[in-house]
Amino acid sequence: MSRFLTGLADARRARRPYGIVSVCSAHPIVLRAALRRAAKGKGPVLIEATCNQVNQFGGYTGMTPADFIAFVEAIAREEGVTRDKIIFGGDHLGPNPWRKEPAAVALEKAAGMVEAYVTAGFTKIHLDASMGCASEPVALDDRTVAARAAALCAVGEQTARRENLPMPVYVLGTEVPIPGGADHALDGVEPTAPGAARETIAVHRDAFAKAGLSDAFKRVIAFVVQPGVEFGSDNVVAYDPPRAAALSALLDREPALVFEAHSTDYQTQEALAALVADGFPILKVGPGLTFAYREALYALDLIASDIVPGYGDRPLLRAMEALMLAAPGNWSGYYHGDETALRIQRHFSYSDRIRYYWTRPEAERAVLALLAALDGVRIPETVLHQYLPMIVPTAADRPEDILIAAVDQVLAIYNSAAAERS
């Protein structure tokens, strides 16, 4: 299935571009929606884990790379998706989780993470050594970043050979928006300067050659750049093709490469299709999917409040508010304003920082109580239309189906945008 990724540049050159949706989430409903869609389609599904989310020490999900693959594969079996239809990617693999430690220590742990990802079966590896560690500048120069990326690549290569695994394909480069979206309103985002992108590619090519990794560089499929897309807490910066035209034209001089677009969440289908056509065919989406999940959950919370005697007045929302106030670490540095503004952002922000709370026991109990309250309850079509007008009534047999359908509607936009064009 990696051939699907290595064919992206060829397809662009042949003027028949296609893209692929990169599902960046560990939420079981999001994964089930993506895998259910994959069961009906012809192409692969790309599922990615990030360095903070999943690593050899468990990350914030508590899962190692091997655990994550087993977790996804268990859902895939239930949905009738064979392993050969899934591409696993590792995102931002580098020292970021340990950047407060000395560089030598952080890079040693980063190497262990790359080894764990490749051993587990991840075949798309984004190497990101851009961040400074203890006593270093926040952002490092291109040559240092490239040399560290090459050292991490060497670990990936050695691991794949030792374990007799397919050789990975790589994504390099680091000019991406703030993970999870910006923490303030945005008027616009400047695309990467073509000269800067050209220099980044050249420096990495040279570093890989000096490290004896020229063969691995041939399997570099993409560089991460900023095409001019981003989302803040309550607004989205839409893709503007003319502003990225010069950056896109750089690919004509690098025919073996494409660009990878991060933070494409909340873009329209037209904007996503334009990204694919312009050479940004790897469309990464995460918060946009869990936002749709939360939106549907809160709608069901309202529905149960209206039609299920004894359920209460929006107990799910109230439970999430209490949880986020008791444990503010995942949102307090990202949201700003008075108490009303903070409350609105906690629940409804495009940044979707609430996604970090769904695996907490308090949240899981509240969600299970909601699903139990609606289990076997027929939701009148008129009530469903009031709170979830986008859901087709036939998809509303069970509350879980409604949640999956809500996420699938977002995935459908991405899949349509990624479809091959002639």
Residues 157-190: pLDDT tens digits? Answer: 999 999 999 999 999 998 754 444 445 555 678 9
Specify burial of residue 376 (Cβ count, 10 A radius: 0-12, 13-18, 19+). exposed
Cα 236 to Cα 408: distance, rounded to the nearest angstrom:
21
Count CA atoms closer than 13 A to 38's CA, side-chain side: 30
Rounded to two decimals, what is the model's pTM? 0.95
- Residues of the chain short of pLDDT 70, as ranges, are 1, 176-187, 395-396, 422
Q: What angle do CA 334, 148, 99 make, to 5 degrees?
A: 35
How many C-beta atoms lie closer than 10 Å to residue 171's C-beta? 27
β-pairing, 169-172 vs 220-225, is parallel
Element (H, E) at 124: strand 124-127
Name residues whose C-beta falls within 8 Å of residue 292's C-beta, 6 or more positions apart in sequence: 406, 407, 409, 410
b vs e for 340-363, b when ≥16 Cβ sit within 10 Å of the residue's Cβ?
Answer: eebeebbeebbbbbbbbbbebeeb
Cα 91 to Cα 24: distance, rounded to the nearest angstrom:
9
Count CA atoms closer than 13 A to 23's CA, side-chain side: 30
**2 neighbors 123 (Cβ within 8 angstroms):** yes
Q: How many residues does the chain have?
A: 422
Q: For position 174, what pLDDT does the model report?
A: 84
Residues in a beta bridge with 230: 237
Which pair of tokens denotes residue 225? 């750049």
Cα 156 to Cα 168: distance, rounded to the nearest angstrom:
7
Element (H, E) at 126: strand 124-127
